[in-house]
Amino acid sequence: MNMQENTPDPVPDHVWGLASLAPPGARAAWGARAIQVAGVARVPAVRSRTVDGRAGRVIRPARAAVPPTFDLVWDRQSAVGADVVERARLAKVLDTWGLKAARKAYAVARKNGALDGSEGGLVYLVDARGLVIVADTRASCGYVYLGAWALDRTG
């Protein structure tokens, strides 16, 4: 709702991600097209220096194990729903604990092969406390499409 004019907010021109999969009972839905991030960060080798500044031995630090994750892009997200209060409530839940839980489940799904960048398939990442978050790569080889909706009041 536009609070100043007391009229409904316009429907977005494009609904991103999987928000359109929300069931009819959902109070609000959110979707995004996110970028898949690989699971290992490479750390370059460095040359140590001796006390007097001469070049020392090459140090090859261990590769830091970073779980697979996704990056959200600000202009590739949208929220839908008739009630602005419910959309705001859903956004708060996603910001406080929903996306953190989704990232953990996403890492597990990528490691066990349930989410593969070269094959599509819907995976439920979160289904708790009235919040549902789903993901699908849609065989995009680089993107992951997300959808979230609240069936009950979550918090």
**Is residue 50, in this structure, part of any structural domain at all?**
no
What is the Cα gyration radius of the chain?
21
Residue 46, pLDDT above cutoff 70: no
Q: What is the CATH number of the domain that holds 95?
A: 3.30.450.20
Here the contacts of 43-49 (C-beta below 8 Å, separation 24 or greater) are none
Q: Round to whole Å and give the CA distance between 104 and 123.
A: 13
The owner of tokens 């409530």 is 89
* pLDDT (average), residues 57-85: 80
Residue numbers of the domain that contains 74: 19-41+67-150
Q: Bigger pLDDT: 40 or 125? A: 125
pTM for this model (two decimals): 0.75
* pLDDT (average), residues 2-30: 72
Note whether 31 and 133 are within 8 A (CB). Answer: no
**Is residue 90, in this structure, part of any structural domain at all?**
yes
Q: What pLDDT is recorded for position 67?
A: 83
Specify the amino acid at residue 83. D
The number of distinct structural domains making up the chain is 1
Using one digit for the tens of pLDDT, what is the confidence trace for 109-137?
Answer: 998 989 887 888 999 999 999 999 999 99
**Is residue 128, in this structure, part of any structural domain at all?**
yes
**Is residue 53, in this structure, part of any structural domain at all?**
no
Q: Bigger pLDDT: 15 or 12? A: 15
User: What's the mean pLDDT when you consider all of the chain?
Assistant: 81
Q: What pLDDT is recorded for position 119?
A: 84
**Is residue 59, in this structure, part of any structural domain at all?**
no
**Is residue 102, in this structure, part of any structural domain at all?**
yes
**Is residue 75, in this structure, part of any structural domain at all?**
yes
**Is residue 27, in this structure, part of any structural domain at all?**
yes
